[in-house]
Amino acid sequence: MPKPPAAIQTGQAAPRSQTSATYARIKADILAGKISPGKKLKIKDIAAELEVSPGAVREALSRLVPEGFVVSQDQRGFTVAPISIDDLLDLTRLRCDIEEIALRRSTVEGDASWEAAIIANLHRLLHTPRVVDGRPNADWLLAHELFHRALVNGAASPRFIALNTQLYQQLERYRLLGWNADRQRDVDVEHRALADAALARDADRLVALARKHFERTAELIVEATQADAAS
């Protein structure tokens, strides 16, 4: 598997490129579910696996704490942030509320470039397979994120984009848990409807569709989680 740049000598500060690569790798593994929620993150073990310095791992984990993916415990090191239905519902409500503000602003402030980005990203999303070899397709997951980002980018608020991206990625951990259940719905139809409402600048319809889209995803994840617990 691809590795971040090689470790540097002990006692030196980790190069920014090494820390950034380590951060990206750990974050990707958490999002993909390769590192289980609640798992203790041992710095020496991660450094050995990725062939980087312990300092790079420590800095990377520290960056993931304020993003909500890692928890730092005094004298006990780092663990992957736990997941729960309550947290899922809280994230979903917050995303719906934040997204509404940006969607409404986008329908007013979005220009021709915003419209073109929605059309281009919808086309890419609809023509990318969701599943490859029975597994979620990383290209589809990226296309999905870019489409939803395009819808709100008309608001042109860097702070919102950063917050929205963080919420989206935190929800991504949950989305993969309900992946099989989510395949039972026609998300292509839902995404087309979102794009149509945005391009028509129908803010009320766009907000209603987005809220329904997000809440349905949460419902399916809850159902899948409860079904797994009962089995």
Of 228 and 86, the one with more pLDDT: 86
- Whether 213 has a pLDDT exceeding 60, the answer reads yes
Instruction: Yes or no: say if 144 and 72 are a contact pair by the CB < 8 Å rule.
Output: no
pLDDT per position as a tens digit, 59-68: 999 999 998 9
Do residue 30 and residue 136 come from a single domain?
A: no
Mean pLDDT, the chain, as a whole number? 88
Do residue 163 and residue 200 come from a single domain?
A: yes
Percent of the chain with pLDDT over 90: 64
pLDDT band at 229 (very low <50, low <70, confident <90, very high): low
9's tokens? 């000598």
Do residue 46 and residue 90 come from a single domain?
A: no
Tell me whether residue 3 is in a domain: no
Do residue 134 and residue 180 come from a single domain?
A: yes
Do residue 100 and residue 72 come from a single domain?
A: no
Do residue 148 and residue 52 come from a single domain?
A: no
Do residue 174 and residue 73 come from a single domain?
A: no
Query: Among 29-33, 87-91, 110-114, 188-192, where is mean pLDDT lowest?
Result: 29-33
Instruction: Give every CB contact of residue 8 below 8 A, 6+ residues apart in sequence.
Output: 14, 15, 18, 53
Domain around 32: 16-80
What is the distance between the alpha carbons of residues 189 and 193, in angstroms, rounded to a whole number? 6
Burial class (CB in 10 A: 0-12, 13-18, 19+), 221: buried
- CB atoms under 10 Å from CB of 56, counted, come to 28
Do residue 56 and residue 124 come from a single domain?
A: no
User: Which ranges in the chain belong to alpha helices (H)?
Assistant: 16-31, 43-50, 54-64, 85-109, 112-126, 138-152, 158-177, 179-182, 187-199, 203-230
> Which range is most confident: 13-17, 39-43, 132-136?
39-43
Query: Among 12-26, 64-78, 168-182, where is mean pLDDT lowest?
Result: 12-26
Tell me whether residue 137 is in a domain: yes
